[in-house]
Structure 1
Amino acid sequence: MRRVACAPREGWRETVEEQGLVYAVPRGQDDLYWDESAYYEFTLAEVEALEEAVADLHEMCLDAAGHVVASGRYADLGITDRRVIELIERSWARRDTEISLYGRFDLRYDGSGPAKMLEYNADTPTSLLEAAGPQWFWLEQLHPGCDQWNSLHERLVAAWRKHAATLPRGPVHFAYTLTDEIGEDMMTAAYLQECAEQAGLHGTLLPVEEIGWDPALRRFVDEQDRTVNTIFKLYPWEWLVADRFGGYALDLALAGQGPAWIEPPWKMLLSNKALLAILWERHPGHPNLLPSYLDGPRELSVFGYVEKPLLGREGAGVRIVTPGHTVGTAAEPGERLCYQAFHALPDFGGNRTVLGAWVVDGEPAGLGIRETAGLITDTTARFIPHLIRG
């Protein structure tokens, strides 16, 4: 694995925006998000090792979710609402018939040892569109003789086609939130709609804020008063169940009614940072895991640890604590934390790199890379393409 500097294509911005990446240069930011002034190069052996690690990690995460359900350890995840717990348990019992579409593992890797799991974004992961499309088109144009770990588009279409017959009648609604000002959520939802339509389904894009509730017929409706029977939501479950209409969603689901949800409710167990501590507890010393705890940093205080809010996003509330030095901002008072061993992100010429390894329909499917100048990957991260040579 190495970082290679290169010249961006002439007219690159217009090119990637035409491919859907309208947030290549986010509004209100001076820095680029899509950055093709460099790329990361891997050997085939490195990618095969990463793919094997991701497959193992995904199976371990499913095992951890099953353990939480079987042992009732919801309080460790900060889940105490009895109805939410029942929703998760019913969903977990039906997991073979519900669609778990995709997820993204964030990994620490520099090519010199095993990849280390930093977290699993299993409910509402973004950076999908750029990994599936513009990154692949970049490769085809500039490096046609090379390969890329990227079967994302084909696997997403295949997943929709595989599950199409199990979905309720009517369009699949693809929901996003208007609070995302740069358009990333909307374009991610639109891309997944495109994948579903290529699989033969009919989809429609819908802001979460514009989903209506029909009290007479007890149903969710879109702007055209159509019943929402299937909904992909790029909106976290922990927000959804706490929203004004969250009670209706719970009522319907617990009555065996209402929409088919994608991602399903049991994904709440995998998008929670408490998962990291449960994984370490069940697989101590595993080469792809970092020591992690819920009751404090324990022995990690000697060399350094990372405080992570259980439901944190985009680096918010993450703090790195090492002897004599602290980086980041503390979480909100009273917010529950996971304490993970600090293993600095690899430094490639002043660029700190995180690998986003994708899982689609339970199988490893591709790679996207983000980098920052600092130790915490946040909203200033840049997306850098990659290739496989040799």
Structure 2
Amino acid sequence: MESQGLAYHRTAHPENLTRPYWDESVHYVLEMEEVLHLEEVVEELHRMCLQAAEHVVRTGRYEVLGIEERLAPLIEESWRRRDPHVYGRFDLRYDGAGPAKLLEYNADTPTSLVESSVIQWFWKEDVFPEDDQWNSIHERLVDRWRELPLREGPLHFAWTEADLSGEEIMTVSYLRETAEQAGRECVSLTMESVGWDGEDYRGLEGERIKTLCKLYPWEWIVGEPFGAFVDETDWVEPMWKMLLSNKGLLVLLWELFPGHPNLLPAYLNTPGDLTSHIRKPLLGREGASMTITAPGVSQETGGRYGAEGFVFQEFAALPEFDGQHPVLGAWVVADESAGLGIRETSGLITDDTSSFVPHRIPQ
């Protein structure tokens, strides 16, 4: 497993836990019929998110997302150019019976990519070679890089030195591998080595960076000294993804598509009429800074997120299987459903203590 690329399953997982990050002692079985249905759900949710992005650009409702007004022109230019995007991951609540419910959309810097695409596929091939899996992530990524209209020159792939677990460098390295399989020339570097010379983005060797694929959030990029010049290069993911990689999106979706069977009611900075809710920061990671308030349930996670505001989403407890609560991470490449990764946790909030478990579709 480590030789296949999962080199961070120990360093990125709290040492005090008895359960490993990658846990193949259990797995989920999904029928082909429900997978086909979930694929339709995911692609519909993706289309709805794009409509929400268009709504923000058209109406200027950046305050719902906690985005500074100074960034609006750059975001709008990126959206109107239709700067190409590559991938994203929907987190869904699904119990196998009722409709899947959107928990959030990781549209800018989604992780768990290596284990979703590569590791669990090799597990299936080794253990259940006759079965199938909801997993065309790798092939779709290669196809996407091949068709992507980018500027001439090499693709630069960047991660941050601030990540000490190795997860980000392995994720970026895997993305680079899919681009190279598509025939693209690629260069790796850290975000800390990216600079601005007054005219172009450049690396430490002085090379011009025309296209940069980064695992570095847009809200951090726009805070950098060179953040005012982002339209001078191509970015993966593009700047308009700021409209989707934000939990304020949940509020906009509920406004635009009230009562949709795959959405949960969500409101900005107030629970509204919700008696059971989970408070989520507009910008946050790994389940940090969240609070559940419901009859018989009170839970809070630590963290420093929330300066931009909070979303109150209806609390729908995750289903329970043998004491574990799964969240489905449904991947999108370009505008199409691409695969599934499942993370389990013993608690009600998926965080850095959760484990990744594989799945299969019986023949």
Distance 1:205 1:334 in 2: 33
Superposed displacement of residue 380, structure 1: 1.1
Superposed displacement of residue 150, structure 1: 0.2
Cα RMSD (Å): 1.4
- Alignment equivalent of 2:181, drawn from 198, 215, 220: 198
Do the aligned partners of 1:213 and 1:220 also contact (CA within 8 Å) in 2?
Answer: yes
Alignment length (residue pairs): 359
2:58 alignment partner in structure 1:
70
1:240 alignment partner in structure 2:
221
Q: Deviations over 1:37-72 (max 9, x none)?
A: 111111111111111100110000000110111111
1:54 alignment partner in structure 2:
42
Distance 1:352 1:387 in 2: 18
**Pair 1:359–1:376, CA change in 2 (3 A):** same
Superposed displacement of residue 244, structure 1: 2.9
Q: Deviations over 1:192-214 (max 9, x none)?
A: 00000000001111110111232
1:365 alignment partner in structure 2:
338
- Alignment equivalent of 1:92, drawn from 79, 97, 100: 79
Code of the aligned partner of 1:370: R
Distance 1:310 1:335 in 2: 6
Distance 2:187 2:356 in 1: 28
- Alignment equivalent of 1:318, drawn from 290, 293, 301: 290
Give the TM-score normalised by the residue count of structure 2.
Answer: 0.96
Tell me if 1:343 matches 2:329.
no
Tell me if 1:274 matches 2:248.
yes
Do the aligned partners of 1:25 and 1:34 also contact (CA within 8 Å) in 2?
Answer: no
**Pair 1:60–1:333, CA change in 2 (3 A):** closer
Tell me if 1:264 matches 2:264.
no
1:153 alignment partner in structure 2:
138
2:28 is paired with a residue whose SS is: strand
Code of the aligned partner of 2:130: G
Q: Deviations over 1:207-257 (max 9, x none)?
A: 101112324xx221112211011000110101100123323x34xx2xxxx
Distance 1:377 1:312 in 2: 12
Superposed displacement of residue 299, structure 1: 1.4
- Alignment equivalent of 2:15, drawn from 23, 29, 43: 29
2:356 alignment partner in structure 1:
383
2:88 alignment partner in structure 1:
103
Distance 1:149 1:334 in 2: 37
Do the aligned partners of 1:110 and 1:346 also contact (CA within 8 Å) in 2?
Answer: yes
Unaligned runs of 5+ in 2: none
Superposed displacement of residue 187, structure 1: 0.6
Distance 2:109 2:296 in 1: 36
Distance 1:293 1:133 in 2: 37
Tell me if 1:138 matches 2:123.
yes
**Pair 1:72–1:171, CA change in 2 (3 A):** same
Q: Deviations over 1:301-360 (max 9, x none)?
A: 2xx100010011111111111135420137657540011000001111111100000000
What are the within-5 Å matches in structure 2 for residues 243-254 of structure 1?
A: 243-247=224-228, 249-250=229-230, 253=231
1:67 is paired with a residue whose SS is: helix
Do the aligned partners of 2:135 and 2:340 also contact (CA within 8 Å) in 1?
Answer: yes
**Pair 1:333–1:235, CA change in 2 (3 A):** closer
Superposed displacement of residue 33, structure 1: 1.4
Do the aligned partners of 2:66 and 2:308 also contact (CA within 8 Å) in 1?
Answer: no
Unaligned runs of 5+ in 1: 1-15
Give me the identity figure in percent.
55
2:37 is paired with a residue whose SS is: helix
1:181 alignment partner in structure 2:
164
1:243 is paired with a residue whose SS is: coil
1:221 alignment partner in structure 2:
202
Moved more, 148-157 or 319-328: 319-328
Distance 1:342 1:207 in 2: 38
Distance 1:202 1:305 in 2: 47
